[in-house]
């Protein structure tokens, strides 16, 4: 029972006791007053009638006395009037046998009214000849007492109701801070840092709220400190100080993950820009000007090759690059040409009139399965070719040896696959430390007309270019829902589905998705989005995640920890889980900076009660390294390659 109800019951009980006592006291006083009135009425009648009878009294002829008694009896309300002689022998008695009507018997029994008898002597001269006895009838007294009781009960009931209502209102106002404190405590349990701005006026409540606010502020400070610490470690380990781009270590970690076939990565393009004669510029104008020049070139690179999923890095003092997943190098030629011609404007912005510095830009495509060394060799060859081009045309695109499918061919392939539903779901299971299944990540495969099964990296770049991604997302969701009845998942098992940028930014897609989320479906599905989408579209992602969580659907962030910047958004988004970027796995054993940075991410996630999953784990040593840091769920080829979701 709530405190407010207990207090209301106590106040109501106390009030009822007080009112009941007052009620009974008033009734008793009224009864005493009425008894006194009956005594006075009887005595007055006895005295006056006794004198009257004395003047006409004749013991031998009582008829005159009877006449006078009858006259008085008829004018008043008496129980009886009696005349006796001096020896106590009855001369005459007049009685009223009427019962009291309209009053409950229990009331008369509980509150009995005693009607006293009054006596008076009847005498002739100085000689007593008899005694007159008069007793008033209590009927009117009972009626008066009954009416008084009803009126008192009515007014006391109204007073009690008004008092209880006022007490409830006052308690509601007084205890309102308790409700706010309850919400604040529940928020603390959810690791949400909610402060109460309005302090209660009640001293005790004010002290409690102030203490809770201080605790919440301290907890928020701890999380902010952890977030800043993680950000600082990330910058030290992976960010170039001059340009703000990824350094070579970060590039190698990410490109290795992108080239690893086991990570379900897609093909893409890479642009390498080499700054020629930078040393001459440094010698002429100083290293500060040289650093500013490199920073402006880096900004121009990000501007011309802008993409949410792109990776921008500085390989060394004179080489910058942009990695563009899901892009074809051929489509980036205009950007490469513009970048190769950007140097004069950059020098002019620094008020440098003459300098031999120029830019050479090379473009190549890459495919998962290529080695990093082979990729860098191709880039170096492309840049050398670019240096051989005429001035203002110092860019070079190296086409692939294998001719890719044409735009129209891909259009036909994907349209046919979507229409014929020639997609298959594979799964890669994330296991908890006790070898129990934590979740099953769904991976899409395309089955061509010859029966060959292709991974997402084969067709996703074309699907993105042809705006087919959202349609494929819908197919994945429909196939997953259709498979649920046959999978017989445990209550804590989920199928996790990656949502693309195209789907997330489509309002119709969100409405369509929610229409499918029945309770039985929702409890076994989880949706995750890449960290790049979270940081570039925070409001849209926040709304979607909150909507999904209200339907009891798990939400997660994929490829986490790779974006430079503040991670405080985790406090507001509060995903159910995060999946670490696959690039951290290869360095988790030996690289101390990677180890420290991942440890800070884990600590930050644990502070918010967010599950953390290590990805692309391939060796037992990697599993043990993550477990030593506190990660209890891992996913990757260590447990085997992806397998079909449905058998057969």
Write out pLDDT tens, residues 486-501. 988 888 889 999 999 9
Q: Residue 244 — very low, low, confident or very high, per pLDDT cuts 50/70/90?
A: very high
Indicate whether 190 pLDDT > 70: no
CA nearest to 234, candidates 222, 244, 220: 244
What is the dihedral sign for C-alpha 142, 143, 144, 147? positive
Indicate whether 404 pLDDT > 80: no
Summarize pLDDT for 603-630 with one digit per residue, the tens: 888 888 899 999 999 999 999 999 999 9
Highest mean pLDDT among 183-187, 226-230, 468-472: 468-472
- DSSP element (H, E) containing 155: helix 139-174
Side-chain half-sphere of 187: how many Cα atoms within 13 Å?
A: 20
| Secondary-structure breakdown of the chain: helix, strand, coil percentages, each rounded to the nearest 5 | 55, 20, 25
Q: Which CATH class is domain 239-398?
A: alpha beta
Indicate whether 601 pLDDT > 80: yes
Q: What is the mean pLDDT of residues 410-420?
A: 90
Task: Pull the structure tokens for residue 423.
Answer: 């997609």
Distance CA 367, CA 355 (A): 38
Place of tokens 């006291």: 25
What is the reported pLDDT for 406?
65
Q: Are 320 and 313 in contact (CB under 8 A)?
A: yes
**Where are the domain boundaries for CATH 3.30.450 in the chain?**
3-171
**Where are the domain boundaries for CATH 3.30.70.270 in the chain?**
239-398
Indicate whether 206 pLDDT > 90: no
Distance CA 339, CA 312 (A): 14
Instruction: Report the first-to-last Cα separation within the chain, whole angstroms.
Output: 57
HEC-encoded secondary structure of 295-352: HHHHHHHHHHCCCCCCEEEECCCCEEEEEEECCCHHHHHHHHHHHHCCHHHHHHHCCC
Between residues 422 and 14, which one has the greater pLDDT?
A: 422
pTM over 0.75: no
Indicate whether 483 pLDDT > 90: yes
What is the reported pLDDT for 11?
79
Q: How far are the Cα atoms of 285, 487, 492, 611 from residue 432, in angstroms, in the given order?
A: 58, 19, 12, 11
**Where are the domain boundaries for CATH 3.20.20.450 in the chain?**
407-644
Question: Which of 22-26, 385-389, 506-510, 537-541 bottoms out in mean pLDDT, i.e. has the lowest?
Answer: 22-26
Task: For residue 575, give the 3-state DSSP assignment.
Answer: coil
Place of tokens 């563009």: 324
Q: How far are the Cα atoms of 157, 317, 361, 391, 554 from residue 356, in angstroms, in the given order?
A: 101, 17, 16, 12, 57
Q: Are 284 and 355 in contact (CB under 8 A)?
A: yes
Query: What percent of the chain is modeled with pLDDT above 70?
Result: 96
Summarize pLDDT for 90-120 with one digit per residue, the tens: 888 888 877 777 788 888 777 788 888 888 8
Strand 577-580 with 525-530, pairing = unpaired
Task: Pull the structure tokens for residue 195.
Answer: 């402060």
CA nearest to 43, candidates 117, 114, 98, 121: 117
The mean pLDDT of the chain is 86
Question: Which of 42-56, 170-184, 203-217 bottoms out in mean pLDDT, i.e. has the lowest?
Answer: 170-184
CATH 3.30.450 fits 3-171, yes or no: yes
Q: What is the mean pLDDT of residues 369-386?
A: 92
Q: Which CATH class is domain 407-644?
A: alpha beta
Summarize pLDDT for 339-366 with one digit per residue, the tens: 999 999 999 999 887 888 899 999 999 9
């Amino acid at each position: 029972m709530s405190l407010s109800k207990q207090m209301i019951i106590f106040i109501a009980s106390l009030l009822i006791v007080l009112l009941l006592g007052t009620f009974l006291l008033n009734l008793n006083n009224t009864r005493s007053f009425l008894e006194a009135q009956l005594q006075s009425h009887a005595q007055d009648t006895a005295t006056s009638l006794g004198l009257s009878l004395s003047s006409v009294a004749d013991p031998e002829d009582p008829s005159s006395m009877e006449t006078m008694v009858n006259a008085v009896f008829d004018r008043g309300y008496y129980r009886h009037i009696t005349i006796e002689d001096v020896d106590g022998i009855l001369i005459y008695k007049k009685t009223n046998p009427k019962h009291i009507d309209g009053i409950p018997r229990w009331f008369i029994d509980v509150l009995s009214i005693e009607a006293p008898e009054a006596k008076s002597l009847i005498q002739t001269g100085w000689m007593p000849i008899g005694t007159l006895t008069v007793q008033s009838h209590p009927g009117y007294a009972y009626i008066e007492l009954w009416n008084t009781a009803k009126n008192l009960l009515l007014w006391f009931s109204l007073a009690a109701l008004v008092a209880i209502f006022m007490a409830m209102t006052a308690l509601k106002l007084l205890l309102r801070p308790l409700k706010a404190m309850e919400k604040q405590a529940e928020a603390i349990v959810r690791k949400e840092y909610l402060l109460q701005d309005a302090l209660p006026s009640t001293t005790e409540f004010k002290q409690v709220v102030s203490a809770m606010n201080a605790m919440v502020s301290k907890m928020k400070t701890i999380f902010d400190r952890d977030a800043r610490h993680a950000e600082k470690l990330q910058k030290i380990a992976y960010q170039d100080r001059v340009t703000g781009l990824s350094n070579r270590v970060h590039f190698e970690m990410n490109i290795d993950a992108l080239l690893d076939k086991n990570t379900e990565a897609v093909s893409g393009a890479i642009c390498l820009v080499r700054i020629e004669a930078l040393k001459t510029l440094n010698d002429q104008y100083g290293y500060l000007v040289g650093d500013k020049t490199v920073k402006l070139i880096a900004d121009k690179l990000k501007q011309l090759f802008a993409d949410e999923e792109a990776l921008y890095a500085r390989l060394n003092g004179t080489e910058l690059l942009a990695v563009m997943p899901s892009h074809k190098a051929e489509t980036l030629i205009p950007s490469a040409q513009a970048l190769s011609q950007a140097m004069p404007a950059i020098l002019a912005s620094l008020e440098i009139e003459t300098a031999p510095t120029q830019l050479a830009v090379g473009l190549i495509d890459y495919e998962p399965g290529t080695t990093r060394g082979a990729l860098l060799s191709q880039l170096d060859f492309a840049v050398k070719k670019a240096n051989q081009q005429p001035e203002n045309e110092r860019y070079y695109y190296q086409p692939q040896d294998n001719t890719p499918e044409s735009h129209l061919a891909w259009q036909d392939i994907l349209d046919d696959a979507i229409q014929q539903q020639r997609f298959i779901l594979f799964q890669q299971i994330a296991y908890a430390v006790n070898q129990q299944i934590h979740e099953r990540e769904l991976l899409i495969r395309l089955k061509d007309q010859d029966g060959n099964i292709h991974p997402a990296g084969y067709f996703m770049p074309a699907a993105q270019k042809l705006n087919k991604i959202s349609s494929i997302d819908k197919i994945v969701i429909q196939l997953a829902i259709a498979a649920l009845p046959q999978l017989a998942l445990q209550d804590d098992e989920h199928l996790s589905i990656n949502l693309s940028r195209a789907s997330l930014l489509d309002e119709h897609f969100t409405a369509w998705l929610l229409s499918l989320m029945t309770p039985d479906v929702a409890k076994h599905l989880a949706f995750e989005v890449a960290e790049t989408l979270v940081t570039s579209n925070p409001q849209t992602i926040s709304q979607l995640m909150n909507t999904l969580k209200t339907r009891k659907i798990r939400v997660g962030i994929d490829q986490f920890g790779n974006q430079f910047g503040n991670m405080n958004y985790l406090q507001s988004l509060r995903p159910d889980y995060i999946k670490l970027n696959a690039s951290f796995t290869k360095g988790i054993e030996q690289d101390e900076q990677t180890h420290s940075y991942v440890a800070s991410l884990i600590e930050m996630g644990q502070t918010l009660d967010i599950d953390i999953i290590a990805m692309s784990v391939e060796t037992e040593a990697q599993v043990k390294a993550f477990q030593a840091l506190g990660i209890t769920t891992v996913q990757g080829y260590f447990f085997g390659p992806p397998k079909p979701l449905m058998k057969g």
